[in-house]
Amino acid sequence: MSYLLVVATTVVIYAVLSVGLNIAVGYAGQPHLAQGAFLGIGAYMVAVFSTRYELSFWVSMLIAIAVTAASGLLLGVISLRLRDDFLAIVTIGVNFVVVAIFQYVPWFGGATGVYAIPLPSIGGQQFGNGEFLILGLVMLAIAVAVSGYLARSWLGLGLASLRDDELASASSGTPVAPFKITAFVVSAAIAGMAGALYAPFLSAVTPTSFGFTESIVMLAMVMFGGVGTIRGAILGAVVLGALPEIFRFVSDYRLLIFGGILVLVLRFQPQGIIGTDSAAAGWWSRFRRPGHSADDDGSGGGAGPYGAVGAAGGSLPGPVDAPGAGSAGE
């Protein structure tokens, strides 16, 4: 039971990270490959402040969120002068810069990292595996609520126009700079929140635990489930987060199986398994429409000036739906 709780908590943390990454990648259409670095920043802030300065987990978590949000602000400002491939290269570089800082700056513990990170506690009662899972689910609910609010607000419409055509959006008077910066700041802050839980959950952090590989895994989760949808980000985290454990019995081949499944999905369902324009979303849309069966032909949902806005038949139901604009429909 304890092992299942550990796996479930790990998957939930990945889901929080994926929902946050989806804001920058899915809603704003930015090639963001630095989420692993922001996870590390959040984790290290909690690790250092709770061990070196003996602050409580809750205070350390607030510091972690603030620092990662500031880091996202810096990346957002940098993104104003870069676009597409050039921005992707810069975000890749952020991973290596952050890992190098963790490794060579003594304040972060150097190459050995930080160990014996105190567990969170409430009323003197330290967290166990069950409490970690509950806190992770609370964080996921917060991430979903923030993401859903952004998608439904005027900011979501602005991000959708930015994603569809940044030049046209800017020429029409859309304030591109604040929109891009906001996407990076919120995405980073959510990653910092996840990192704050990740550090005490592992009880130790090392520089090699965070970086480009983790960033690629998170991007793969978003793309697998469906770019621009909250449900897709969560599904991708659940499936790709659990696959390594499911295929542990064939440990020599599990990475091959993992990669093969991802390639097949992206080849035949480039919008993801349950993305806005995926076959599953279209099928469900037709199935829900009164007087139509799942075999009927028809469009997969309502569309507005920014794409699928998530009309009554336009998206899968559930608390994680966040119908917004364009293919960032949620």
Is residue 182's pLDDT more than 80?
A: yes
Q: What is the mean pLDDT of residues 93-108?
A: 93
Is residue 72's pLDDT more than 70?
A: yes
Distance, CA of 238 to CA of 240 (rounded, Å): 6
Higher pLDDT, 108 or 83: 108
pLDDT of residue 294: 40
Query: Do strands 204-205 and 114-115 pair parallel, antiparallel, or not at all (unpaired)?
Result: antiparallel
User: Among 57-61, 215-219, 259-263, where is mean pLDDT lowest?
Assistant: 259-263
Confidence bin at 319 (pLDDT 50/70/90)? very low
Is residue 9's pLDDT more than 90?
A: yes
- Measured over the CA atoms of residue 161, residue 163, residue 168 and residue 172, the dihedral's sign is positive
pLDDT of residue 40: 95
pLDDT of residue 323: 37
* Statement: the pTM of the whole predicted model exceeds 0.85: no
Is residue 197's pLDDT more than 80?
A: yes
Higher pLDDT, 9 or 171: 9
pLDDT of residue 226: 86
pLDDT in tens, 253-310: 666 777 787 788 878 887 778 866 666 666 656 666 655 444 444 333 333 333 333 3
pLDDT in tens, 125-166: 889 889 999 999 999 999 999 999 988 888 877 787 777 777
Tell which residue, 291, 275, 285, 271, has the closest CA to residue 317: 285
The tokens describing 78, both together, are 């940098």
Is residue 45's pLDDT more than 90?
A: yes
